[in-house]
Amino acid sequence: MNQDRKIETMSDFFDNRADIYDDHMINELDLNVFYDEIADCIPKNRTNIKLLDLGCGTGLELERIFRIYPFAEVTGVDLSSKMLDILKSKYEDKMSQLKLICKSYFDIDYGKSIYDVVLSTYSLHHFGKELKLSLYRKIYCSLKKDGIYIEGDYTVKTTDEENRFIEESEHIRKAGGITDGIYHIDIPFAVETQVNLLRQAGFINVQIKKQWDKTTIFVCEKN
C-alpha cells in the first residue's frame, strides 16, 4: 500500500476511473475467468431470480448472469454515478429489469426475504470487521430461504497480513485527518476471517468456491 498517494473518497475514485474500468479489469487484470466462476455460482434451477448486486459498478458480472436468466430482476447499488451511467449504456435493452441506486450500500434498506441471490465482486475489501458484519447481517435478512450470497473479493493468506493492512489503513486515516466517510483504502481479510464473519451473520453453510493467489469466491446459503 502506497501511503503517499492521494486518498480519494470511494465515489471520486471510481468516477475518475469509470471510462477505463472495464479495460482494466478484463484486459489488464485478465479477470474473464473470475467472472465466469461468479456466474457459475448462480443457481440454475429457478424459473427466474431477483438479484441484489452490491457495488455493481459497470455491470461486468451482469452479462453472464443475463445469459443464464434473461429476465432476471436486478437491483444494483453503487456510489459512482459515472459507473452506473456506463452500466445503463451497456444494458439499454434490460432497463425494465434494472433498478439502479446511486448510494452507499450501507445506507439503504434491503428488505426481508426479497432476493434469491445477493452478489458482491471486488467491493467489500475496503471496510473493517464491524461494518462488514453489519452488512452481512442485512444481506442474510434480505435473502429468501435457500437464497445464495456470492462474494468474490481480494483476500490475503494470513491474519498477520490482514493485521498489517488494518494498521496501515488506520495510519493513513490518522495522517489524513480522516475520521468518517467511505474512502478507497484496501483492507483485505484472511479467508478464515471472512468465513467467521459470514457465520456470525447467520450463514451456516459457507463454501470456498474458488481461490487464487489474492482472490477468493465465497458462496453462502441461507437455510
Q: Is the pLDDT of residue 1 over 70?
A: no
151 bridge partner residues? 120, 218
Query: What mean pLDDT value characterizes the chain?
Result: 94
Tell me the average pLDDT across 159-170.
94
Pair 217, 208: CB distance under 8 Å: yes
Counts for the chain of helices (H) and strands (E), in that order: 8, 8
Backbone angles phi, psi at 136, to 5 degrees: -60, -35
The CA distances from residue 181 to 97, 173, 178, 204, in Å, are: 31, 10, 8, 31
Specify whether the CB–CB gap between 179 and 172 falls below 8 A. no
Decide if pLDDT at 2 tops 60: no
For residue 202, pLDDT beyond 70: yes
d(CA 197, CA 187): 15
Assess whether pLDDT exceeds 60 at residue 167: yes
CA 124, chain centre distance (Å): 5
Q: Which domains does the chain have, with CATH numbers?
A: 10-221 (3.40.50.150)
User: Which cell numbers in the block locate residue 48?
Assistant: 427466474
pLDDT of residue 3: 47
- Residue 5 confidence (pLDDT): 54
Cell of 34: 473470475
In the block, residue with C-alpha cell 464491524: 130
Which tens digit of pLDDT belongs to each residue from 44-53? 999 999 999 9
Whether residue 4 is predicted with pLDDT greater than 80 in this model: the reply is: no
Amino acid at position 105, single letter: Y
Q: Which is more confident, 185 or 201? A: 201
Q: 149 is written with which cell numbers?
A: 450470497
Instruction: Report the range of poorest mean pLDDT among 19-23, 63-67, 77-81, 170-174.
Output: 170-174
Residue-wise pLDDT tens digits, 181-200 = 788 899 999 999 999 999 99
Cβ atoms within 10 Å, residue 189:
27
pTM: 0.93
